[in-house]
Structure 1
Amino acid sequence: MRAEPIATPAPPALPQRRGGAARLERAVLALAGNHGRVVEHRERSWASITFAGTRHTLRIVFDTPDAIAGGEALIASLPDHEFALPARLVADATVSAVDHVLQPAPQLTVTCEILLLEDS
């Protein structure tokens, strides 16, 4: 007797954020064709001698064929994208992890690291 794989549902999307974090999420999802769900968003303060800002870690799940294509577009375009965020400058944007599974259903999970500096 063969055991059937257990389907694990994707985590739900986070509640609607406001302010700069929400604008960042919308800008990143726009790169993915407005596909995907942000399932984790961590924000922590960052500072150097001359700059201050925040470092953001976003984990985004794509679980339909169109969404997965959007996630792949995000992976390709994020590092070189010029963001337009009010009073903020994106100093660094990288894809730090990608997890693509096919079973029990296709799903792409992308983790992004983004450093936002205060534009003064």
Structure 2
Amino acid sequence: MRTALLALSGNQGEVRHHSETAWASITFAGTRHRLRLEFEGVEAVAAGEELVAALPDHEFTIPRQLVADATVTGVESALEPAPRMLVECELLLLEDV
């Protein structure tokens, strides 16, 4: 999942935090992932902006997993001393057996 998420950003970001918790409903089981990605530099920040725009509608291909929900939950950006962006997101993955 991390590899697919980084690929969506053109491999321009770095995962700074990743937590995973079990998730279940009456009919489905899976995991909820919370990630914080950092983008440093002009090109990386542009890739981060593309990630923010594309993530909610992106169709991931992850073996034995379905991405049921992908949401950007926060964005921080700064220009000084160098362009930098932090993107926080949540993904709900369901087991596809």
Structure 2: runs of 5+ lacking an equivalent: none
Structure scoring higher RCO (CA < 8 A, sep ≥ 6) equals 2
More strand by share: 2
* Offset at residue 105 of structure 1 (A): 2.1
Matched position secondary structure for 1:117: strand
**Amino acid across the alignment from 1:29:** L
Distance of 2:82 and 2:23 partners within structure 1: 38
Backbone CA RMSD of aligned residues: 0.7
Aligned partner of 1:86 among 63, 66, 86: 63
Structure 1: runs of 5+ lacking an equivalent: 1-23
How do residues 1-12 of structure 1 correspond to structure 2 at under 5 angstroms? none
What is the TM-score of this pair, normalised by structure 1? 0.79
Q: Match of 1:39?
A: 16
Aligned residues: 97
Structure 1 or 2, whichever has the larger Rg, is 1
* Large movers: runs of 4+ above 6 Å: none
- Percent of residue pairs bearing the same amino acid type: 59
Distance of 1:84 and 1:78 partners within structure 2: 13
How do residues 23-102 of structure 1 correspond to structure 2 at under 5 angstroms? 24-102=1-79
What is the TM-score of this pair, normalised by structure 2? 0.97
